[in-house]
Amino acid sequence: MIKSSKSSFQNGFIVLCLCLSLAGLGSPAFSQAVIFHSFKQTAEQFIKERDFSKAEKLAEAAVLEAEALKAKLGDNRNLIDSLELLGRVYREQGNYGKLAVTNGRLKALGVSDSEVTSTESGVSIHESGSNNVTRIDSEVPPAAYRNKVVPSESTESSEAAVNQSSQASQANTVDPADVEFTEPVQEHLQPLKTDIVASAEGIAGELRNNTLLKKAKELMEIKGHISWVKCLEFSPDARKAASGGVDKTVRLWDMASGQELHRFEGHDDNVTALAFSPVGSRLASGSSDKTIRIWDLDSGREIKVLKGHENIVTCLAFSSTGRLLASGGYDGTIRVWDLGSGKAIKVLTGKDLGTIRALSFLPGESKVVSGGSDRLLTVWSIESGAPVKKLSGHKGDILSVAVSSDGSRIITASRDLTARIWSTATGAEEQKLIGHGNWVLRAQFLSGDNRAMSCSLDKTFRLWDVSTGQELSASTIGPFGMWGVAMNDVGTRALTGSNNFSLRLWQIGQ
Check residue 275 and give its pLDDT: 99
Any residues with CB less than 8 A from the CB of 117 and at least 6 apart, and which?
none
- Lowest-pLDDT range of 16-20, 105-109, 119-123: 119-123
Confidence check: pLDDT of 4 > 50: no
Reported as type and span, the H/E element at residue 496 is strand 493-497
Look up residue 121 and give its DSSP letter.
Answer: T
| H helical segments located in 94-215 | 96-108, 113-120, 143-146, 158-165, 192-209
Averaged pLDDT score across all residues of the chain: 79
- Exposed/middle/buried for residue 443 (C-beta within 10 Å: 0-12, 13-18, 19+): buried
Check residue 20 and give its pLDDT: 44
User: pLDDT (tens digit, 9 = 90+) per residue, 170-204?
Assistant: 233 333 334 333 333 333 333 333 333 344 555 55
Q: What is the mean pLDDT of residues 466-489?
A: 92
DSSP per-residue letters across 363-415: SSSSEEEEEETT--EEEEETTT-SEEEEE---SS-EEEEEE-TTSSEEEEEET
Residue whose C-alpha is closest to residue 61's, from 341, 415, 497, 437: 437
User: pLDDT (tens digit, 9 = 90+) per residue, 385-440?
Assistant: 999 999 999 999 999 999 999 999 999 999 999 999 999 999 999 999 999 999 99
Any residues with CB less than 8 A from the CB of 81 and at least 6 apart, and which?
40, 66, 124, 126
Q: CB–CB of 166/148 below 8 Å?
A: no
Q: CB–CB of 132/157 below 8 Å?
A: no
* List of domains in the chain: 5-130 (1.25.40), 213-507 (2.130.10.10)
Beta bridge partners of residue 335, listed in sequence order:
327, 347
DSSP per-residue letters across 195-264: HHHHHHHHHHHHHHHTPPEEEPEEEEEE---SS-EEEEEE-TTSSEEEEEETTSEEEEEETTT--EEEEE
Residue whose C-alpha is closest to residue 109's, from 154, 67, 155, 151: 67
CA distance linking residue 295 with residue 112, whole number of Å: 66
CA distance linking residue 443 with residue 374, whole number of Å: 18
Confidence check: pLDDT of 499 > 90: no
Beta bridge partners of residue 293, listed in sequence order:
285, 305
Q: CB–CB of 59/46 below 8 Å?
A: no
Any residues with CB less than 8 A from the CB of 296 and at least 6 apart, and which?
281, 282, 302, 303
Residue whose C-alpha is closest to residue 231's, from 458, 488, 495: 495
DSSP per-residue letters across 35-68: HHHHHHHHHHHHHHTT-HHHHHHHHHHHHHHHHH
Residue whose C-alpha is closest to residue 184's, from 477, 506, 498: 498
Higher confidence at residue 304 or residue 350? Answer: 304
